[in-house]
Structure 1
Amino acid sequence: MRTMSTTGLPLAADAGLDFSLPQQLTVILLCALTAFISHMALAVFNDGVRPFMLDFIHGRTTRSATTAVSFGLSAGFIFGLGAPMALSSGVLNPWLLFLPTDILGLLAPKKWLAPLLGAGWGAVVVFGLDGANEVAHDLPVDFLTAMQQMSTPILFLFTLFPVLAITKQFGRAWGAAAGAVELALVVMTMKLWPDIFAGALAMAIGVLLLIGLAVRRDLVQRKADRQAAAASGAVSEEAPDDDPMASLFSASATRLRRYLPLFMVLGAGVCVLAQMHIFGGGEATSFLIAKGQFSEAAQVDFYRVFGFVPLIATTALASGAYGIAGFTLVYPIGYLMPNPVLAAVVGAAVFALEVLALSSIGKVLGKLPSVRDSSEHLRNAITDSLHLAILFGSLMAANAMGGGLGILVVGGLYLLNEAMGRPVVRMAAAPTAVIIGGVLLNVLHWLDLFTPLKG
């Protein structure tokens, strides 16, 4: 039986991960390009690796040591989140494509070898995933179909991330008000526009409210500071010309601008991949793309941008290494483009503007501390909401494939991971437990110790 979405459309995973030739070539070439750019230390996808790139760029640490850092920070997301999400949704994601090319690019000792390794990984993805998908669906306990249970918790709990961010930054009263508004908007959307994702409008209002509150706080504080300075007769001091951070930021921005044509090609490639609708930039987005809800997917990834622009801009200026997906604006733009040619042109232009504007963005963020704080609260709220959604969805998948025994195995593996100090990162632990649990239930079936649930 094909699993149907809330819009009546089958999930992409039900049709397998069978890519057309242009799609295969796009993935392979993009993986080759991102591995090459990683080798050049111009950009990496993992935000946690980027701060380590400064020492590597200046020769204070070795390629092998930087590769080890990248692998340690990325492996859990690749195999515990990227691969399960792709197999369950039928849509590729950045953890599966770009985290491995971070590692392979840094690992390659020669410049020419990096794109070959990246292309090799792209080939593994486009040719290997479909085979793995078919094998998994043919098993007595089909854990991939069961993992599609994660879509509903991820989509609806993700809607609450602006409420969490507002509560943490501006207190319970504003948080309660935002929660009430979002709930009302979700109910209204489900009633009036049942064919669109119910959380889209709620997230938009929530993010706008957060940004509005942050800007208001900054403006009020700046006005108070000016009045206090005027009352005391003090004159504000400008930052000294020899500010070491300003010098570092300027050098990093100049280094990135020097490779602007290469970044434009990268932006074009990522935007074209998004336009092909075989790629989703996030957990919720992957399932929306799988259901054919491209405009809703664009909205979701657009709202995420506000949580990551300050982080990506500041780490890029501090380290001299940009993000593989830039500010991730090319994701929502790509979803909405009518054809790959236009997507390539627009993606290249967006990346050019981002790289050229880095210094200006850094200066603006320096004057808006509450907006910077909002970005951090947004990222933390996204992580918190998705952690609960993925855990809950994984337990639903466990119940679908094995009932109480499935919940025991998957929940037990998750709790064991927590007790052991999280050798698998928390976000990836539950999907990993579903896969391991699915394999174990199949083994028990073959030993005639477990009968798969019907339906």
Structure 2
Amino acid sequence: MAFDINVLTVLVMAALGGICAYLANQNIAVFNDGTRPMYGPYLNGEIDRKTLFATSFALSFGLVIGFGLPTSIAGRIIIVHTIMLACDIIGALFKEDTKGMILSTAIGAAFGVLLMFGMQTVINLFALMPIDFLGSLSTVGGLIVILFCVFPALAVAYQTNALKGIIVLALTMLVKHVTFHFGKFTIKDVNIALNSDGTALLFGIVAMVFVAARTSKRTEGSAAAAFAVFEKNIDRIKKNLLILAISGGIVALATTLLLIAEGPASLTLTAEGRYGEAAIVALGRCLGFIPLVMTTAIISGVYSPAGTKAVHVPAILFINMGIMGMVGSFFVGALIMAIEVLLLGFIAKGLDRFPGMKELGDNTRTAMSKILDISLLVGGMMAANAIAPTIGYIWVVGLHFLNQNSKKPISSMAIGPIGAISMGIIVNILYVIKLFPK
């Protein structure tokens, strides 16, 4: 590994794992951009903790095993997804009461330390499974980030009519298409690649508020009420400014100590000692993720423990600068995170100028719930079919309709993830009894 194992690195990894699990448990911040929108329905009481955990597990566990650990081992530095996605799961596992907070924080800290010592061991253990289905689980959440930009168009349709919804949908698709094909450019040797999903989502939200402003009577004080559904979420994030700043500082410090890297490209460059190039790559990725992270934060009321990933950029440049570099990395990372959180309020004030209808919040939550339902169901079908092409689709669709007819149905959002995970278990059982080919 590129990092040294000593008292300092053990403490930093424990702090990183502990704070990430704590933030997820207390519904303050999660790293997975697909999981973050799920916290909105949870905080509104639309889904329970078990559903939240099942979804978080399905969306993140496959990425930890199939992407995070192998990439970390190959690059000799832990890619940030490995620890933060796992801590998303740990935090969601326990209730947000005092006992759950202590357990999740302690387990997250222990996981961070064990991860540093045992990455190869974990890979070897999962390799013992007769049929490896964990990589396929990442498919479950693959559609959420892609399809989530549809919810503003659906909210517009609920609020006005289908025609205006179709117009917003068409424009959202156009923005996504143009950004995907032409959103890569260079400014003063800095490569910038805009995230097409985040840009499309940002456009859709602005269009939704704009349409709401034009379809309601402008009255004194209506602007503040119109955007209350998002403004409340932003205020919730701002109340946790201090702990989020500390999280940003710890993430930056771990980067400076070569414990973590923000992405595969910067990981490789950092491992090779090409810190300037690694910082440039990290900056380009940061600029591309800003719309996605900030918009999902605004609509959910939950931020990311690494923010927009901007904290990694100066942290890379502080590598090999000794004690002063470590101290500087922590405080600069904390400052960047604080600025990001405060910028969310600036965005809210800008959008707050558009007065909307009082039912904007209800329509928005309904639209988000619909999109999450279909995204997770179809994602679960795709994952189950990848695991078992002969029976995967049948299993998830069957569970979906049987759940609807159950006396005590579970949340429809959980069917896709549960179906995919249970399908993986089933095929391993079938393999053991010689009824499923490897």
TM-score category (smaller protein): 0.5 to 0.7
Equivalent residue for 1:15? none
**Alignment correspondent of 2:74:** none
**Selected match of 2:64 from 68, 81, 86:** 86
Shift of 1:387: 3.6
Matched, 1:339 2:352: no
Q: Which residue number corresponds to residue 17 of structure 2?
A: 31
Measured after TM superposition, the shift of residue 396 of structure 1 is 2.4
Aligned match for 1:430, one of 416, 420, 438: 416
How far 1:448 sits from its partner (Å)?
Answer: 1.4
Partner of 1:306: 295
Kindly report which structure 2 residues correspond to 1:364-375, keeping only aligned pairs within 5 A, or say none.
370=356
- Sequence identity of aligned pairs in percent? 19
Aligned counterparts, 1:89-104, within 5 A:
89-90=67-68, 91-92=81-82, 96-98=86-88, 100-101=90-91, 103=94
Tell me, yes or no, if the aligned pair for 1:82 and 1:95 is still in contact at 8 Å. yes
**Matching residue of 2:246:** 265
* TM-score, normalization by structure 1: 0.58
Question: SS state of the match for residue 404, structure 1?
Answer: coil
- Residues 142-151 or 211-220, more deviating: 211-220
Change (3 A) 1:149 1:407: same
Counterpart AA for 1:277: E
How do residues 121-270 of structure 1 correspond to structure 2 at under 5 angstroms?
121-123=111-113, 131=121, 133-150=123-140, 153-154=143-144, 156-188=146-178, 200-201=195-196, 203-205=198-200, 207-208=202-203, 210-211=205-206, 214-215=209-210, 217-218=212-213, 224-225=218-219, 260=242, 262-270=243-251
Q: Does residue 276 of the first structure (1) align with residue 261 of the second (2)?
A: yes
* Post-superposition offset of 1:395: 2.0
Unaligned runs of 5+ in 1: 1-17, 53-68, 227-235, 237-248, 280-291, 313-322
**In 2: Cα distance, 1:299 partner to 1:375 partner:** 28
Q: Which runs of 5+ in 2 are unaligned?
A: 31-38, 69-80, 186-190, 222-231, 265-280, 319-327
Distance across 2 between alignment mates of 1:19 and 1:432: 37
CA gap 1:265/1:388 in 2 versus in 1, 3 angstroms: same
Number of aligned residue pairs: give it: 368
Shift of 1:211: 1.7
| Deviation sequence 1:129-160 (CA, Å, 0-9, x none) | 86555444554433123335557645543453
Letter of the 2:90 partner, please give it: P
User: CA 1:357–1:439 in structure 2 vs 1: closer, same or farther (change >3 Å)?
Assistant: closer
Q: Superposition pairs for residues 351-430 of structure 1, below 5 Å? A: 351-353=337-339, 370=356, 381-420=367-406, 425-430=411-416
**TM-score, length basis structure 2:** 0.59
Two-structure CA RMSD over aligned residues (Å): 5.5
Distance 1:421 1:132 in 2: 40
C-alpha deviation, 1:437, in angstroms = 1.2
Deviations 1:76-104 (A, max 9, x none): 34434443443354334866414634748
Residues 110, 169 of structure 1: alpha-carbon distance in 2 compared, 3 angstrom cutoff: closer
User: What SS is found at the alignment partner of 2:390?
Assistant: helix
Aligned residue identity for 1:449: L
Structure whose alpha-carbon radius of gyration is higher? 1
